[in-house]
Structure 1
């Protein structure tokens, strides 16, 4: 009986195995017969686009994009996701457009299409929406968490600085009346801690004696932009360099030595295609100044924010660098608008994010010169409102988002040696000046080396709890809209605060949520009161 049962079971297994084989063969054959015609579907998507049926076209592209990716045809996959992003943008579904361009960047990278990937990420970043919350606190509450212990570095807060000698409203180079150290604080209604002064390598320090004397009298520091105009070959460890350092030490004026700035850009005569040559010269200068001017000189290494890909290769080393500086400018440029609507959607505030993430953990960061232009120079179009918003956003939000920036210099000039004039001069634009006055009135911005800000900011998030009491809350809100006009805060479906000025500061009572994790819903509106984005920020309350 048992033998017969075993034989029956074996026969059954054989039948099932043959049946499975037939099914599998049939399935494979069907797949071969009905293999996806990706290029046929692509043509269908293009036809739908021409008809304005973007949602239907997206569905077609989404059908074939994963097929290209699965076959490791990454360039084609990137192209499909580019079209998905573009079509979502036409439907004004910008978060979905960002997701499409992010995938384009991913697959372009896998295909070795570096520039296409960079362009895709740039488009995505310009339209990307996000929100971060911060609570105002005291400097004592953050202690030294944002400090590095560098020379002249405030434990908390940022030294306020400017380049002002090209502004005729505050400086007369012929009579020295007015002199910028005296008149710029009058113009801006706040004393500045330091001023930028350019200096040609090879000249004696006495060539800028009047600037040193006025700095000493005003109690201000100098950011000395030392420029080897004849190239790095003239920079040697010699008596001239040692004497220059000794003279700075003897001057009694604190100086930030910004040697050969923007070295990563080919527009300066000291640019070296081989970074080692630059590094060797910077280290020579740093060694001499550290030796001869230990009290009154701090070494600042200051590339331009672009090109990013070569910045790190020029870094001279932690032992040679006291501060990391950066040149940070924004001039209205609609050419990169992903929506092709003639807007500049870039964030002046976030433009130096790359260099901040590279160096802020080990060195104080220094906006060694910068500004937002109030004119679109190519078209001679007034862009004051855009510039005012970007300036306000920068100064209002920087203390929260980038607390390890310890000095900020505004380039107060409309002068430029090139044909493309830049428009940053505060005295030439009443709205820009008013915005600057309001921005730098924040006590976070310091008037003297040695000062510290009484206020600081902490993130409010799921991992950084807020105290269950009334808190002064601010936000950084980035959206596809170039400017915003209103932000509301909601908790549990109820609006708890509305604010109409950067950095969207208000008071929120967190006491009812003690011991809970809540979602703070941030809604941002443009000047027409149109909802631009809704962002949810999880927050723990202790």
Structure 2
């Protein structure tokens, strides 16, 4: 009898606890929804509200706390204190369920950041695009092709799931083909089944074609010719990344640049004869840099330059400066100026399997570098493919880093927001371009004639410790013109209404709206 009473009591307590949790969640949702309904018309606020609702539903409490804290800071800056207080209380409730030390940063820590002399602000302005003198095969006039591997937990190689999961159709889908491997589903050398799936989605295929038996096995033979003919028959753009990362000792085609160049030129010759829809992509790894050029086959044999570009180690020390990721790319971007560049593999690790360490907020900032900054700072970058690889697959493959966006809620939401920009393209075609057909250049290098009327302005912010500000404001002569609360800190400014004799003041703010850094930029005269 006592057992029955105890079981009944436990069951009752469980029901009460569940009811209490549901009641608390429903109340939280009600507060969030109420706040969203009273939001002023602002796309950033709408985005934050949507992410809060989604995070609460999925019980991603740190994410819910972070976005709610952002809204609270926004309303406090507007002096809407009641709304701000309500949101701050809700943010603390979310944070208590899954503490995030970033949200608990003290005022003294914030002040320490604000006095750091290494914070730099660089303003860029949109100007009418000046297309390259001669576009390469399938090179867009403006914009960046979106690409993805799709080996993450949610997509699981079903590329049709990429759009519903990430909210945007991608233009390029990455796969790998082993040398002389027969595709058993179609009894072919070329991945016909994958090509058919991509064709149905209006996409293109990026193929990592890997001569796993070494360069001596690369011949003008039935295998290569058949592969080329099947590629042509696919009827889609094919970006052929033959023998990539050749500058790294981890691949069997490393170590003999002369033979590598000979074989690359051979493959180019065959594809030119058999498959005009194939784009030859020469794709070294971004490290080591000192031996890359030795493998270059020559401008006549390369359509696109590709780079594998990863951020994998996490913040190395308290003095770690996130600008290194972007600055290290500069020599690569300038090495082959006649060719468009694709980031043929890219990944930002948010978890280290060997060290059992997570650094998802650092990864969020690195992803911002990759998708918000890199193609705007380096206009020859015309495609980015994310190596979306699940933790489970990483464990099975004895990998150290986890790149799956879906397993890092912060990076996942940032990726979904950044790729909505018109700057990114969802279809590969000749003469592709963005709706606005613009590019960016440093405001200090723009001419007065090129910035008449309304233009987009963004600020590249470089801070220590992989940080980013909460907001970036733009003002002139003490009058605030606009403020942005999301990467890449982009706003629309009407230069016709600005005084060309007065500099543009750019200010980076912390979440408490304290000044982190300020820069005055002279306007074009």
Matched, 1:367 2:343: yes
Matched, 1:307 2:288: yes
Displacement, 1:470?
Answer: 4.2
Q: Deviations over 1:124-178 (max 9, x none)?
A: xxx5x543322345xxx31424x741111111111111001x224223xxxxxxx
Show structure 2 runs of 5+ residues with no match. 1-111
Is the contact made by 1:132 and 1:459 (CA closer than 8 Å) also made in structure 2? no
Displacement, 1:364?
Answer: 0.5
Closer/same/farther in 2, CA of residues 346 and 512 from structure 1, 3 Å limit: closer
Q: Could you tell me which residue of structure 1 aligns to residue 490 of structure 2? A: 505
Q: Could you tell me which residue of structure 2 aligns to residue 438 of structure 1? A: 417
Q: Could you tell me which residue of structure 2 aligns to residue 185 of structure 1? A: 163
Q: Could you tell me which residue of structure 1 aligns to residue 175 of structure 2? A: 197
Counterpart among 404, 417, 441 of residue 425 in structure 1: 404
Q: Could you tell me which residue of structure 2 aligns to residue 154 of structure 1? A: 140
Is the contact made by 1:468 and 1:512 (CA closer than 8 Å) also made in structure 2? no
Output the CA distance in 2 between the equivalents of 1:93 and 1:532. 7
Q: Could you tell me which residue of structure 2 aligns to residue 540 of structure 1? A: 524
Matched, 1:461 2:481: no
Counterpart among 124, 131, 134 of residue 134 in structure 1: 124
Q: Could you tell me which residue of structure 2 aligns to residue 144 of structure 1? A: 131
Q: Deviations over 1:391-413 (max 9, x none)?
A: 13421223421222111101110
**Secondary structure in structure 2 of the residue aligned to 1:288:** helix
Displacement, 1:213?
Answer: 2.1
Output the CA distance in 2 between the equivalents of 1:233 and 1:441. 45
Output the CA distance in 2 between the equivalents of 1:538 and 1:357. 27
**Secondary structure in structure 1 of the residue aligned to 2:523:** strand
Q: Deviations over 1:506-540 (max 9, x none)?
A: 233433546x4543333324456554433343321
Matched, 1:323 2:304: yes
Output the CA distance in 2 between the equivalents of 1:528 and 1:405. 36
Counterpart among 285, 294, 311 of residue 267 in structure 2: 285
Is the contact made by 1:364 and 1:406 (CA closer than 8 Å) also made in structure 2? yes
**Secondary structure in structure 2 of the residue aligned to 1:539:** coil
Q: Could you tell me which residue of structure 2 aligns to residue 406 of structure 1? A: 382
Is the contact made by 2:114 and 2:517 (CA closer than 8 Å) also made in structure 1? no
Output the CA distance in 2 between the equivalents of 1:387 and 1:314. 31
List structure 1 runs of 4+ shifted beyond 6 angstroms: 90-94
Is the contact made by 1:332 and 1:344 (CA closer than 8 Å) also made in structure 2? no
Output the CA distance in 1 between the equivalents of 2:321 and 2:443. 30
Output the CA distance in 1 between the equivalents of 2:375 and 2:268. 29
Matched, 1:357 2:341: no
**TM-score, normalised relative to structure 1:** 0.68
Is the contact made by 2:315 and 2:362 (CA closer than 8 Å) also made in structure 1? no
**Secondary structure in structure 1 of the residue aligned to 2:379:** coil
Matches within 5 A, 1:240-251: 240-251=223-234
Is the contact made by 1:468 and 1:511 (CA closer than 8 Å) also made in structure 2? yes
**Secondary structure in structure 2 of the residue aligned to 1:310:** coil
Counterpart among 185, 189, 213 of residue 230 in structure 1: 213
- Rg comparison, structure with higher value: 1
Matched, 1:395 2:371: yes
Q: Could you tell me which residue of structure 2 aligns to residue 163 of structure 1? A: 149
Show structure 1 runs of 5+ residues with no match. 1-89, 96-126, 172-178
Closer/same/farther in 2, CA of residues 431 and 91 from structure 1, 3 Å limit: closer
Closer/same/farther in 2, CA of residues 518 and 269 from structure 1, 3 Å limit: farther
Using the TM superposition, name which of 531-540 and 261-270 deviates more.
531-540
Q: Could you tell me which residue of structure 2 aligns to residue 254 of structure 1? A: 237
Output the CA distance in 1 between the equivalents of 2:457 and 2:360. 28
Displacement, 1:460?
Answer: 4.7
**Secondary structure in structure 1 of the residue aligned to 2:267:** helix
**Secondary structure in structure 1 of the residue aligned to 2:339:** coil
Q: Select the structure with the greater relative contact order (CA < 8 A; seq sep ≥ 6).
A: 2
Closer/same/farther in 2, CA of residues 462 and 213 from structure 1, 3 Å limit: closer
**Secondary structure in structure 2 of the residue aligned to 1:303:** coil
How many pairs are equivalent? 400
Counterpart among 416, 433, 458 of residue 452 in structure 1: 433
Displacement, 1:425?
Answer: 1.2
Output the CA distance in 2 between the equivalents of 1:472 and 1:368. 28
**Secondary structure in structure 2 of the residue aligned to 1:334:** coil
Output the CA distance in 1 between the equivalents of 2:135 and 2:203. 20
**TM-score, normalised relative to structure 2:** 0.70
